[in-house]
Amino acid sequence: MAASAEGRDERASPVGRDDDSNEQEVNPWSVRGGEKGIDYAKLIEKFGSQAIDKELLDRMERVTGRQVHHFLRRRIFFSHRDMNAVLDNYESKKPFYLYTGRGPSSEAMHLGHLIPFLFTKHVQELFDIPLVIQLTDDEKFLWKDITLEESYRLAYENAKDIIACGFDVDKTFIFTDLDYVSCEPMFYRNILKVRKCVTFNQVKGIFGFTESDSTGKIAFPAVQAVPAFSNSFPKIFGDRTDIFCLIPCAIDQDPYFRMTRDVAPRLGYLKPALIHSTFFPALQGPKSKMSASDPTSSIFLTDSPAQIKKKINKYAFSGGRDTVEEHRQHGGDTAIDVSYQYLSFFLDDDEKLAHIKEDYESGRMLTGELKKVLIDVLTKLVDGHRERRKAVTDDVVRQFMTPRPLNFDKSCK
């Protein structure tokens, strides 16, 4: 069992790097698994977060009156900080809000990019709360070989894919850093407050910066921190600093928010809560890297049905045996089979997934049959997303990205 997050989380191992260079490394810009992929139990221990256990899931169902999302049932979201405080707020009818984001490094988002947004949409609807989505176009300019203008353009293209997930415009504000820092003084003031509290040695320890890194990189973490403070959005929350924030994100983003949680009390702000997801696997398996620049590493939201079929049949790593006879006798390994793992993300029917697992591991289902099931599921998903994206006009994007009041219950006991 992981130790309690309180009192330990902001001082845990900074970037998830093990002493042995052959072992895993997890930080906001690089994810490298060990021999068997990512060891999430080890990450919980190193980062000092808490595992999402049955007790927490049971409480979520009691509080909300609904079955928890299959991402939670299957431990795709597996770790947290202060989720019990989130539930306390909800039971006490105190307002809170969601914050998540996206670094716009490519025009076409892939399936892995959808995970935090699909889950965030579910949480927003479950609790009926406002949401802010940060597009870190400034970060991508600083870290990637990309112009500022191109990073800004990609942010708006990615906004269309995010909107196509089905968010409610009356409860959702999407912003790029390049736009919002220049138009909202309180956001920038909070950035300065955070920067004054954090030394170079601290960000070096948290993020692994070196003397060869630009000052822009060193200064950036404060920009990702301040959306966790409600008064950074005066059009939404006024000058209130007592509105709690929940951040769904992949575990590699946790270093930003360990820093945020350390700084918040010194500024008179609330520590944000977090809920962490695992990483979406590359088509080639856990030892390979999924990259937006490698079209064979994942399924993209722009892929046609023919491209989806070809990629899965050609590239999806199989847990099947070398021959049909061996497979019928010994069965396949769902722990390493990418097609099965993708279904665990996108097939929400628990009973059907359990049947597939049983049939594949017993040898009754062959790899080709498993891939066909996945092709059908993903084709429907991507086709639906593509149709919704076509309806996202520039005017719709402007509505989401205009600073404005959002529709939520602002009362607080």
Determine, yes or no, domain membership for 402.
Answer: no
What's the predicted TM-score (pTM) here? 0.91
Is-contact 14 26, C-beta < 8 A?
no
Concatenate the DSSP letters of all residues of 41-55 into one string. HHHHHHHT-EE--HH
Q: Which domain holds residue 254?
A: 9-283
pLDDT tens digits for range 107-118: 889 999 999 999
Mean pLDDT over each residue of the chain, to the nearest integer: 91
Q: Is residue 47 part of a domain?
A: yes
Q: Is 381 contained in some domain?
A: no
Q: Does a structural domain hold residue 136? A: yes
Report helix angle 367-390 to 148-163, nearest 10: 100
Helix H or strand E segment including 173: strand 172-176
CATH of the domain at 219: 3.40.50.620
The token pair that represents 338 in the structure block: 């990418």
Give the Cα separation of 374 and 338 in Å (integer). Answer: 10
- Amino acid at the residue 387: E
Is the residue at 322 inside a domain?
Answer: no
Could you tell me if 386 and 301 are in contact, meaning their C-beta atoms sit under 8 angstroms apart? yes
Residue 302 lies in a domain: no
Question: Considering the domain boundaries, does residue 25 fall inside one?
Answer: yes
Q: Is residue 16 part of a domain?
A: yes
Q: What is the pLDDT of residue 90?
A: 95
Q: CA-CA distance, 28 to 115, in Å (whole number)?
A: 16
Tell me how far CA of residue 188 lies from CA of 78, 85, 202, in angstroms. 33, 28, 21
Single-letter code of the amino acid located at 120:
T
Q: Where are the alpha helices (DSSP H) in 99-184?
A: 111-127, 137-143, 148-163, 177-183
Q: Looking at the 3D structure of the chain, how many domains does it have?
A: 1
> How much is the pLDDT for 69?
97
What pLDDT score was predicted for residue 293? Answer: 64
Non-local (6+) Cβ contacts of 170 within 8 A are 406, 407
Low-confidence ranges of the chain (pLDDT < 50): 1-14, 16-21, 412-413
